[in-house]
Structure 1
Amino acid sequence: MVDIATRVYNHKWKIDPIVRSLIDTDFYKLLMCQSVFRNRPDTQVTFSLINRSRDVPLARLIDEGELREQLDHVRSLSLTRGESTWLRGNTFYGKRQMFRPDFMEFLENLRLPPYHLERKGDQYELTFEGRWPEVMLWEIPALAILMELRSRAVLGEMGRFELQVLYARAMTRIWEKIQNLRHLDRLRIADFGTRRRHSFLWQDWCVQAMIEGLGNRFTGTSNCLIAMRRDIEAIGTNAHELPMVYAALADTDDELRQAPYRVLADWHEEHDGNLRVILPDTYGTKGFLDGAPDWLAGWTGVRIDSGDPATGAETAIRWWQERGEDPRQKLIIFSDGLDVEQINTLYTQFQDRVKVSFGWGTLLTNDFRGLVAGDGLAPFSLVCKAVAANGRPTVKLSDNPAKATGPDDEIARYRRVFGVGDQVSQQVIV
Structure 2
Amino acid sequence: MVDIATRVYNHKWKIDPIVRSLIDTDFYKLLMCQSVFRNKPDTIVTFSLINRTTRIPLANLIDEGELREQLDHIRTLRLTRGESTWLRGNTFYGQRQMFRPDFMEWFEALQLPPYHLERIGDQYELTFEGKWPEVMLWEIPALAVLMELRSRAVLRHMGRFELQVLYARAMTKLWEKVERLQRIDGLRIADFGTRRRHSFLWQDWCVQAMNEGLGNAFAGTSNCLIAKNRDLEAIGTNAHELPMVYAALADTDPALARAPYDVLSDWHEEHSGNLRIILPDTYGTEGFLSRAPDWLTQWTGIRIDSGDPAKGAEVAIRWWQSRGEDPREKLVIFSDGLDVDKIAALHAQFSGRVRVSFGWGTLLTNDFRGLVADDALAPFSLVCKAVAANGRPTVKLSDNPEKAMGPEAEIARYKRVFGVGEQERVEVVV
| TM-score normalized with structure 2 length | 1.00
Q: Does residue 1:321 correspond to 2:325, yes or no? A: no
The aligned residue for residue 131 of structure 1 is: 131
Is 1:80–2:80 an aligned residue pair? yes
User: CA separation in 2, counterparts of 1:274 and 1:280?
Assistant: 16
- Report what 1:310 is aligned to: 310
Task: State the match for 1:220 in structure 2.
Answer: 220
Matches within 5 A, 1:2-81: 2-12=2-12, 16-81=16-81
Offset at residue 12 of structure 1 (A): 3.5
Following the alignment from structure 2 to structure 1, what is the Cα–Cα distance between the partners of residues 403 and 283? Answer: 11
Counterparts of 1:340 and 1:261 in 2: how far apart (Å)?
34
1:15-414 alignment to 2 at 5 Å? 16-414=16-414
Report if the CA contact (8 A) 1:15-1:70 is conserved. Answer: no
Q: Report the CA distance between 1:89 and its aligned residue.
A: 0.0
* Residue identity opposite 2:132 in structure 1: W
SS across alignment from 2:21: coil
Change in Cα spacing, 1:77 to 1:238, as seen in structure 2 (3 Å) is same
Deviations 1:349-405 (A, max 9, x none): 000100000000000000000100011100000000000000000000000000000
Q: Which amino acid aligns with 2:415?
A: R
- One-letter amino acid of the counterpart of residue 121, structure 1: G
Q: State the one-letter code of the partner of 1:215.
A: G
CA distance in 1, matches of 2:255, 2:33: 23
Structure 2 residue runs of 5 or longer lacking an equivalent are: none
Aligned partners of 1:159 and 1:251: how far apart in 2? 58
Conserved 8 A contact 1:33-1:133? yes
1:422 matched to 2:422? The reply is: yes
- Measured against aligned partners, the alpha-carbon deviations of 1:225-245 in whole angstroms (never above 9, x if no partner) come to 000000000000000000000
1:67 partner SS: helix
Taking every aligned residue pair, what percent have the same amino acid on both sides? 82
Q: Residues 67-97 of structure 1: CA distance to partner in whole angstroms, max 9, x if unpaired?
A: 0000000000000000000000000000000
Q: Distance in 1 between matches of 2:13 and 2:116?
A: 26
**CA deviation profile, 1:38-73 (whole Å, cap 9, x unmatched):** 000000000000000000000000000000000000
Distance in structure 2 (CA, Å) of the matches to 1:287 and 1:267: 20
Give the CA deviation at 1:183: 1.3
| Contact kept in structure 2, 1:15 and 1:69, CA below 8 Å | no
CA distance in 1, matches of 2:14, 2:202: 21
**Cα separation, 2, equivalents of 1:171 and 1:53:** 26
Residues in 1 aligned to 2:99 and 2:347: alpha-carbon distance in whole angstroms:
33
Instruction: Kindly provide the CA deviation profile for residues 256-292 of structure 1, in whole angstroms up to 9, marking residues without a partner as x.
Output: 0000000000000000000000000000000000000
The SS at the match of 2:269 is helix
Q: Report the Cα distance in structure 2 between the residues aligned to 1:318 and 1:78, rounded to whole angstroms.
A: 47
Aligned residue identity for 2:354: V
| Cα distance, 1:185 vs structure 2 | 1.8
Structure 1 stretches of 4+ moved >6 Å: none
SS of the residue 2:104 aligns to: helix
SS at match of 1:420: coil
Q: Deviations over 1:182-201 (max 9, x none)?
A: 11121000000000000000
**TM superposition shift of 1:15:** 6.7
Q: Which amino acid aligns with 2:351?
A: Q
The letter of the residue matching 2:336 is D
CA distance in 1, matches of 2:211, 2:426: 33
Q: Give yes or no for contact 1:191–1:361 (8 Å, CA) kept in 2.
A: yes
Q: Which moved more, 1:51-60 or 1:177-186?
A: 177-186
Aligned-pair distance for 1:14? Answer: 5.7
**What amino acid is aligned across from residue 224 of structure 2 in structure 1?**
C
What is the root-mean-square deviation of aligned Cα atoms in Å?
0.6
Stretches of structure 1 lacking an aligned partner (at least 5 in a row): none
Matched letter for residue 223 of structure 1: N
Give the residue type in structure 2 aligned to 1:415: K
SS in 1 for 2:397: coil
Q: Aligned letter for 2:91?
A: T
SS for the counterpart of 1:179 is helix
The DSSP-based 3-state class of the residue aligned with 2:135 is: helix
Aligned-partner Cα distance in 2 for 1:338–1:90: 30
Query: Secondary structure at 2:45's aligned position in 1?
Result: strand
* TM-score normalised by length of structure 1: 1.00
List per-residue Cα deviations over 1:297-334 (Å, max 9, x = no partner).
00000000000000000000000000000000000000
Secondary structure of 1:56's partner? Answer: coil
Question: Is 1:116–1:126's contact at 8 Å kept on the other side of the alignment?
Answer: yes
TM superposition shift of 1:16: 3.3
Query: In structure 2, what is the Cα distance between the partners aligned to 1:65 and 1:238?
Result: 34
| Contact 1:328–1:352 under 8 Å retained in 2 | yes
Q: Distance in 2 between matches of 1:168 and 1:125?
A: 35
CA deviation profile, 1:192-226 (whole Å, cap 9, x unmatched): 00000000000000000001100000000000000
